[in-house]
Structure 1
Amino acid sequence: MGQSDEMAAFLRIVERGGFSAAARGSPLTPSALSKLVQRLEARLGVRLLTRTTRRVALTPEGETYAARARDILALIEAAETEVTAGRGRPRGHLRVNTSTAYARHRLIPLLPAFFAEYPDITLDLTIIDRPVDLVAEGVDVVLRTGVLEDSSLLARRIANGRRVICAAPDYLARRGTPLRPADLLTHDCIVLHGLARMTVWPFRDGDRIAALNVRGPVTSDSAEALRDMALAGLGIIRVSEFMVRDAIDDGRLVALLGAEHASEDVPVWAITAPGRHRMPRIRAFVDFVAARAAE
């Protein structure tokens, strides 16, 4: 067994969480996989896994090895697929991470068309409303909206959006409709906690942009929860338009202060680790989502 095969087997153990799970569908038995890791650890002189009765976990050295192994195997795959380009459709397993809101309102509705076009690609979709380390966690593509923080990754802007202020009709009937930005100071504004910039809403004031600090009785770490609370009549929200466009169109939410609201651009990014963006299945996925997101 070559080093690349060892790396692939090691990653299978890590991703499946144990030797028995990794052995299913593999020509290697759990015992053979365990011995493979023992030989690998002996050769490297470090412990890569900690073993319990239920599962295995990576040591710090194991995390480093797993991250580099993913990169190496990705480069091998990219090299092989480049020289055989045109001989077949993109295939293989794809790991994608995105936020709850983007998954629900944009990505998941696209998946039937994606699989119809690329039936040889399988997808592992993780949905987490927090930043992820795509290298350490073995993610191929991260889809995120807003400001990026890690400049060491490759980011492709696949769409531009904007934010909208809105509330449910029953809330407005109960509390009144704000007719100018200052009216929001007497309203319940629901915001994301932990992000100071999301509590400062920008409005046009002549030739300048004025910032208004809003507040309300509840905050959340989930933009999707903000949408649900607005639909329940708890208050006024300011979120990406793609999250609420359907609710505004069918009257469940009402857009507010559209003329005064100075919405900044909300870019949508497809983020990959260096070296992986050329892999056909990753390129096919990003190109597909970018084409639909632009629409």
Structure 2
Amino acid sequence: MDWHKCAQSFIQIVEDQSFAKAARSLYSSSSALSKHINWLEDQLGVQLLQRTTRRLDLTAEGECFYRQAKQLLNEWEQLKETVCNKSNEPRGMLTVGISVVFGNRYIIPLLPELLALYPQLKINVKTLTYPVLHNIENLDLYFSHKPPDFFSSNMDHHTISDAYLQMFASPDYLAEYGTPSQLADLKGHNCLLSTGNDTPNRWEFENGKSVQVQGNLIADNNGALIKAAVAGLGIIFTSPLAFANELKGSLVPVLPELHSPRWAIYAYYPKRKTLPLKTQAFLNYIEEKLQDILPVMPIKS
């Protein structure tokens, strides 16, 4: 047993609020982590955790140990990163948070080439959904469309792309029902509605334009709406980032000069005096590659 490993286990258990989840995060087992906590408590002579079948609670001593142990481990990691940065080779474990759609479509496919480029680097991918973001500060890097004020002030950010919504339909649908030539024409079309939009029946565009739409399919799953659009059911209003592959003939833009107001996609990382080399290398690589594969955005109107 050693203090560093056992303290790391304790911190992970506290942040995951579960021995099982912490074990998966650390590639260990619940029984091993339990031994680490027992060893810490024996060495310190105090109880750190109050454990029941339903929850974990920190004792007052556990709260104190958590805060100071986390600070010490962070300082240790920064020391290691400072030394590693001098070798100019990214190395170590990088914990990256991704969303299901953006992360799986754009980030994951880039990892094989990245890891071949930096053989000393290891990546731990965590798929996160809103609003479960209480552990975001424990990530080295996180990609999100949420604005900076959504997150803790302890996070820095970097804009890696912008995004917007645009209308698309399959060639078969347009061949059967016609191609709209103006917004007013949408009232005669079947529009596929997303409950992810604040106003599913009203599509809003840049420069204050909007149109009331209707359709026979509404869903909270954008992937389902995309498949329905590809199958020829109607017109979809979504981001090209969600289905870049389907743009190759399966879906074509409708009124391509129109798009919603834009928003940014950010990379978030904990505030530090110096960005770790592994984080900087990953971020630089991903940003460069995304410029090549993301759909081309139209000139701002």
Regarding TM over 0.5, the answer is yes
Is residue 241 of structure 1 aligned with residue 240 of structure 2? Answer: yes
- The equivalent of 1:223 in structure 2 is 222
Give structure 1 stretches of 5+ with no counterpart: none
TM-score by length of 2: 0.75
- The equivalent of 1:279 in structure 2 is 276
Give structure 2 stretches of 5+ with no counterpart: 293-301
How big is the shift at 1:203?
Answer: 4.1
1:193–1:203: structure 2 CA closer, same or farther, 3 Å change rule? closer
Further displaced range: 231-240 or 112-121: 231-240
Q: How many residues align?
A: 284
CA offsets 1:31-76 (integer angstroms, 9 cap, x no match) = 6324135448964x6535x354xxx954377899768855653342
| Mapping 1:83-94, distance limit 5 Å | 83-87=83-87, 89-94=89-94
- The equivalent of 2:145 in structure 1 is 145
SS at match of 1:17: helix
Q: Letter of the 2:174 partner, please give it.
A: L
1: CA distance between counterparts of 2:193 and 2:131?
A: 19
Q: Letter of the 1:256 partner, please give it.
A: V
CA offsets 1:74-115 (integer angstroms, 9 cap, x no match) = 342123321442226222222222222212331122112111
| Mapping 1:174-213, distance limit 5 Å | 174-196=176-198, 200-203=202-205, 208-213=207-212
1:213–1:60: structure 2 CA closer, same or farther, 3 Å change rule? farther
Query: Kindly, what percent of the aligned residue pairs are identical?
Result: 26
1:175–1:111: structure 2 CA closer, same or farther, 3 Å change rule? same
SS at match of 2:102: helix
Further displaced range: 107-116 or 146-155: 146-155
2: CA distance between counterparts of 1:246 and 1:23?
A: 35
How big is the shift at 1:119?
Answer: 1.9
How big is the shift at 1:196?
Answer: 0.6
- The equivalent of 2:38 in structure 1 is 35
Is residue 258 of structure 1 aligned with residue 267 of structure 2? Answer: no
Conservation of the 8 A alpha-carbon contact between 1:96 and 1:125? yes
1: CA distance between counterparts of 2:278 and 2:231?
A: 40
1:40–1:278: structure 2 CA closer, same or farther, 3 Å change rule? farther
- The equivalent of 2:20 in structure 1 is 17
Q: Letter of the 2:208 partner, please give it.
A: I
Further displaced range: 57-66 or 112-121: 57-66
SS at match of 2:209: strand
1:252–1:69: structure 2 CA closer, same or farther, 3 Å change rule? farther
CA offsets 1:109-142 (integer angstroms, 9 cap, x no match) = 2112111112222222233453441536843322
- The equivalent of 1:80 in structure 2 is 80
